[in-house]
């Protein structure tokens, strides 16, 4: 496990430099979700693949930018699913983006996730790793220095509602509005990593990416985005559920690019989600 975390750190340092210095613009390709790839998506994917290939415990990698998993070392123990540069369309407007990693044993599914991590490329570069606890580090020079253990409170003040409002189901709209009516403040950049990081660091709130009339299964991918963050929220004392109130980490996965509606937050807000969704 340590060598995988070290590979993630080396990748983060290289991707930070690429974001700062490399050319923006589109590559000549689309990813398997049909999204046009940026040159930075492709470069970040290559960097992570190169660094994970140096970790002998990694058997298979699956990237949001690749259509299928790739076995890199038959005798490795772990499978790593990653989103190399989540929210990459925000780079041109200079908002924060991130890399997300899920480490699995056996196969890619919620119950098989054993650890996860993400990197936020913001004004500073930070790394959060969740094995037993959720721990936050900051890049200083070439070193990631420990900052704090992340712990969510019982209730927060932030509301980060994703997806196209026009297609929200009525019960979802009521949920979001009820939180605003209680005084919650809107925080939504359109980057999953900084949006979820903000709630974690500020100690509570709700991030939701629901199923909608146009996309009943939501947008966020289980293996690369949802399961890794579900683990981090739970390790920080929070909750991560789907639209039926089930723990996200109990969900299986068919195709590696499968998506699911998802809700991440502290106890109070997740209880609210259950209340409004049970009424639906």
Identify which of residues 221 and 272 has a Cβ nearer to ligand F6P in the complex: 221
Binders of ligand F6P in range 34-73 (CB under 6 A): none
Residue 81 contacts ligand F6P per CB under 6 A: no
Among the listed ranges 131-139, 167-175, 185-193, 226-234, the one in contact with ligand F6P (CB under 6 A) is 185-193
Residue with smaller CB distance to ligand F6P, 78 or 184: 184
Helix 170-181 and helix 267-279: axis angle, to 10°? Answer: 140
Could you say which of 41, 65, 86, 243 contacts ligand F6P (CB under 6 A)?
Answer: 86
Identify whether the C-beta of residue 179 lies closer than 8 Å to the C-beta of residue 269. Answer: yes
Using CB under 6 A as the binding rule, whether residue 242 contacts ligand F6P is answered as no
Structure tokens at 193: 């990593």
- Classify strands 205-209 and 158-161 as parallel, antiparallel or unpaired: parallel
Residue 4 token pair: 């995988």
* β-pair type (205-209, 262-265): antiparallel
| CA-wise closest residue to 48 among 98, 109, 122, 114 | 98
Q: Which of 235, 241, 257 is nearest to 83 (CA)?
A: 257
Measured from the CB atom, the residue of 108 and 118 that comes closer to ligand F6P is 118
Q: What track of x and - describes contact with ligand F6P for positions 214 through 233 (by CB under 6 A)? A: -----xx-------------
Q: Among residues 134, 132, 127, which one has the least CA distance to residue 151? A: 134
106 binds ligand F6P (CB under 6 A): no
| Closer residue to ligand F6P (CB): 55 or 240 | 240
Q: Does 211 bind ligand F6P (CB under 6 A)?
A: no
Number of residues interacting with ligand F6P: please give it, by CB under 6 A. Answer: 9
CA–CA dist 266, 235 (Å, integer) = 12
Name which of 153, 135, 242, 128 is nearest 205 in CA terms: 153
CB of 225 to ligand F6P, least distance (A): 6
165 vs 167: CA distance, rounded Å: 5
Residue among 84, 110, 162, 210 that touches ligand F6P (CB under 6 A)? 162
Verify binding: residue 190, ligand F6P, rule CB under 6 A: yes
The DSSP code sequence of 222-242 is IIIIIHHHHHHHHHTT-EEE-
Interacting span for ligand F6P (CB under 6 A) from 36-44, 177-185, 188-196, 261-269: 188-196
User: Using the rule CB under 6 A, is 87 a contact of ligand F6P?
Assistant: yes
Residues that bind ligand F6P (CB under 6 A): 86-87, 162-163, 190-192, 219-220
């Amino acid at each position: 496990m340590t060598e995988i975390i070290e590979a993630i750190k080396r990748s983060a340092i290289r991707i930070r430099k690429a974001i700062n210095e490399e050319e923006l613009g589109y590559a000549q390709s689309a990813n398997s979700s049909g999204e046009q790839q940026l040159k930075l998506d492709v470069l970040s994917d290559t960097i992570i693949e190169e660094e994970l290939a140096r970790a002998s415990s990694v058997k298979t990698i699956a990237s949001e930018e690749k259509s299928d998993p790739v076995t890199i070392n038959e005798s490795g123990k772990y499978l790593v699913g990653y989103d190399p540069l989540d929210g990459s369309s925000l780079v041109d407007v200079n908002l924060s983006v991130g890399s997300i990693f899920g480490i699995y044993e056996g196969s890619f599914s919620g119950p098989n996730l054993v650890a996860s991590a993400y990197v936020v490329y913001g004004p500073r570069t930070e790394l959060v790793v969740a094995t037993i606890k959720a721990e936050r580090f900051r890049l200083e020079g070439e070193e990631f220095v420990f900052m704090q253990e992340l712990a969510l409170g019982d209730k927060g003040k932030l509301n980060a509602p994703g997806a196209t409002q026009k297609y929200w189901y009525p019960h979802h709209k009521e949920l979001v509005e009820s939180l605003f009516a209680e005084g919650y403040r809107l925080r939504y950049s359109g980057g999953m990593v900084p949006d979820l990081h903000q709630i974690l660091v500020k100690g509570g709130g709700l991030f939701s990416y629901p199923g909608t009339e146009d996309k009943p299964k939501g947008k966020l991918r289980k293996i690369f985005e949802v399961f890794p963050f579900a683990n981090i929220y739970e390790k920080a004392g929070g909750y991560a559920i789907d639209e039926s109130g089930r723990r996200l980490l109990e969900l299986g996965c068919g195709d590696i690019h499968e998506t699911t509606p998802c809700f991440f937050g502290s106890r109070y807000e997740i209880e609210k989600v259950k209340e409004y969704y049970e009424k639906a």
